[in-house]
Amino acid sequence: MKNRIDMNNDQKIQVHEGAAGTHEVLHTGNGHGNGHGHHEHKQSFVSKYIFSQDHKTIAKQFLITGIIWAVIGALFSVLFRLQLGYPEESFPILETFFGNWAKGGRIEPEFYYALITMHGTILVFFVLTAGLSGTFANLLIPFQVGARDMASPFMNMLSYWFFFLAGVVMMTSLFVQTGPASGGWTMYPPLSALGQANLGSKLGTDLWITAMALFVISSLLGGLNYIATILNMRTKGMSMTRLPLTIWGLFFTAILGVLSFPVLLSGFILLLFDRHLGTSFYLSDIYTAGQALPNEGGSPVLYQHLFWFLGHPEVYIIILPAMGMVSEILSVNSRKPIFGYMAMVGSLFAITILAFLVWAHHMFVSGMNPFIGSVFVLLTLLIAIPSAIKVFNWITTIWRGNVRFTPAMLYAIGFVSMFISGGLTGIWLGNSTIDIHLHDTYFVVAHFHIVMGVSAFFGMFAGVYHWYPKMFGRYLNNTLGYIHFWVTLVGSYLIFWPMHYMGMAGVPRRYLDFTIWKSFNQFNDLNKMISVVTIVVFAVNLMFVFNFFYSMFKGRKLRTQNPWNANTLEWTTPINPGHGNWEGEIPEVHRWPYDYGKDGRDFIPQTEPVGSNESKH
Amino acid sequence: MSSIWIIIAFLLGFLIVFQIAKASEYVSILKGEERARNESNRINGFLLLAFLIVGLFGVWYCNHTLQDKILGEPASDHGERIDRMLYITLAITFIVFVITQVALFWFAFKYQEKEGRKAYFFPHNNKLELIWTVIPAITLTVLVGFGLYYWYEITGEAPPNAQLVEVTGSQYKWEFRYPGADGKLGKKYYREINPLKNNSLGQVWSDPDNRDDIVASQEVHVVVNKPVKFVIYAKDVIHDVGLAHFRMKMDAVPGLPTTMWFTPKYTTREMKQKNGDDFEYEISCDQICGKGHFSMRGVVIVESQAEYDAFLSKQKAQYAIAMEAENGNPAVPSPSGDSTQTKSTSISAVTTK
pLDDT digits (tens, 9 = 90+) for A112-170: 999 999 999 999 999 999 999 999 999 999 999 999 999 999 999 999 999 999 999 99
pLDDT of residue A121: 96
* CB neighbour list of residue B88: distance below 8 Å, 6 or more residues apart: B143, B146
pLDDT of residue A27: 40
List the single best residue of A287, A420, A465 to mutate versus B (max B Cβ within 10 A).
A287
User: Between A1 and B146, whose confidence is greater?
Assistant: B146
Cα-Cα-Cα-Cα dihedral sign, residues A413, A416, A419, A420: negative
DSSP string, B113-152: --TT---------HHHHHHHHHHHHHHHHHHHHHHHHHHH
Q: Please tell me the least confidently modeled range out of A274-283, A487-496, A502-511, B332-341.
A: B332-341
Q: What is the rounded average pLDDT of the residues A267-274?
A: 96
- Asked if A286 and B244 come within 8 Å (Cβ–Cβ), the reply is no
Which residue of chain A comes nearest to B232, CA vs CA? A367
pLDDT of residue B204: 94
- Asked if A374 and B104 come within 8 Å (Cβ–Cβ), the reply is no
- Asked if B18 and A286 come within 8 Å (Cβ–Cβ), the reply is no
Residue A41 clears pLDDT 70, i.e. is over it: no
Distance between A1 CA and the closest CA of chain B, angstroms: 42
List the single best residue of B65, B203, B236, B248 to mutate versus A (max A Cβ within 10 A).
B236
DSSP helix/strand/coil, B262? strand
Q: Bridge-partner residues for B301, per DSSP?
A: B221
pLDDT of residue B328: 64
Angle, CA A354 vertex, CA A341 and CA A499 arms, to 5°: 95
Using an 8 Å CB-CB cutoff, list chain A residues near B69: 501, 505, 522-523
Using an 8 Å CB-CB cutoff, list chain B residues near A373: 151, 155
Residue B339 clears pLDDT 50, i.e. is over it: no
Residue A303 clears pLDDT 50, i.e. is over it: yes
Using an 8 Å CB-CB cutoff, list chain B residues near A539: 10, 14
* CB neighbour list of residue A445: distance below 8 Å, 6 or more residues apart: A496, A499, A503, A509
Q: What are phi and psi of B170, to 5 degrees?
A: -150, 165
pLDDT of residue B36: 83
Out of B82, B122, B255, name the one closest to residue A436 (CB): B82
Which residue of chain B comes nearest to A378, CA vs CA? B144
Distance between B195 CA and the closest CA of chain A, angstroms: 8
Q: Which helix (H) or strand (E) holds A326?
A: helix A300-334
Q: Which helix (H) or strand (E) holds B282?
A: strand B281-285
- Buried/exposed A119-147: b ≥16 CB within 10 Å, e otherwise: bbbbbbbbbbbbbbbbbbbbbbbbbbbbb
Distance between B342 CA and the closest CA of chain A, angstroms: 14
Q: Is the pTM of this model over 0.95?
A: no
Which residue of chain A comes nearest to B157, CA vs CA? A370
- Asked if B86 and A378 come within 8 Å (Cβ–Cβ), the reply is no
Using an 8 Å CB-CB cutoff, list chain B residues near A614: none
C-alpha–C-alpha distance, residues A489 and A493, integer Å: 6
Q: What proportion of chain A, given as a percentage, has pLDDT over 70? A: 93
pLDDT tens for B309-323 read 999 999 999 999 998
Q: What are phi and psi of B251, to 5 degrees?
A: -65, 150
pLDDT of residue B115: 83
Residue B7 clears pLDDT 90, i.e. is over it: no
Distance between B224 CA and the closest CA of chain A, angstroms: 20
Residue A603 clears pLDDT 90, i.e. is over it: yes
Distance between A439 CA and the closest CA of chain B, angstroms: 8
Which residue of chain A comes nearest to B190, CA vs CA? A285
Out of A197, A400, A433, name the one closest to residue B120 (CB): A400
Distance between B330 CA and the closest CA of chain A, angstroms: 25
- Asked if A432 and B147 come within 8 Å (Cβ–Cβ), the reply is yes
- Asked if A478 and B101 come within 8 Å (Cβ–Cβ), the reply is no
- Asked if A437 and B137 come within 8 Å (Cβ–Cβ), the reply is no
pLDDT of residue B114: 87
- Buried/exposed B255-288: b ≥16 CB within 10 Å, e otherwise: bbbbbbbbbbbbbbeebeeebeeebbbbbbbbbb
List the single best residue of B22, B28, B100 to mutate versus A (max A Cβ within 10 A).
B100
pLDDT tens for B125-145 read 999 999 999 999 999 999 999
pLDDT band at B329 (very low <50, low <70, confident <90, very high): low
Using an 8 Å CB-CB cutoff, list chain B residues near A432: 147-148, 151
C-alpha–C-alpha distance, residues A82 and A88, integer Å: 10
pLDDT tens for B63-101 read 999 988 887 889 999 999 999 999 999 999 999 999 999
* Residue pairs spanning A and B at CB distance below 8 A: 378
Length of chain B counted residue by residue:
353
C-alpha–C-alpha distance, residues A484 and A265, integer Å: 37
C-alpha–C-alpha distance, residues A592 and B8, integer Å: 52
Q: What is the rounded average pLDDT of the residues B198-214?
A: 93
Q: What proportion of chain A, given as a percentage, has pLDDT over 90? A: 84
pLDDT band at B348 (very low <50, low <70, confident <90, very high): very low
Neighbours of A89 (CB within 10 A): 10
Q: What proportion of chain B, given as a percentage, has pLDDT over 70? A: 92
DSSP string, A89-113: ---HHHHHHHGGGGGGG---HHHHH
Which residue of chain B comes nearest to A293, CA vs CA? B191
pLDDT band at A2 (very low <50, low <70, confident <90, very high): very low
Angle, CA A592 vertex, CA A586 and CA A595 arms, to 5°: 115
C-alpha–C-alpha distance, residues A552 and B142, integer Å: 53
Using an 8 Å CB-CB cutoff, list chain A residues near B171: 197, 288
pLDDT band at B352 (very low <50, low <70, confident <90, very high): very low
Using an 8 Å CB-CB cutoff, list chain A residues near B244: 437, 505-506, 519-520
- Asked if B284 and A493 come within 8 Å (Cβ–Cβ), the reply is no
Out of B4, B40, B123, name the one closest to residue A341 (CB): B123
- Four-CA torsion B9, B15, B18, B23, nearest 10 degrees: -130
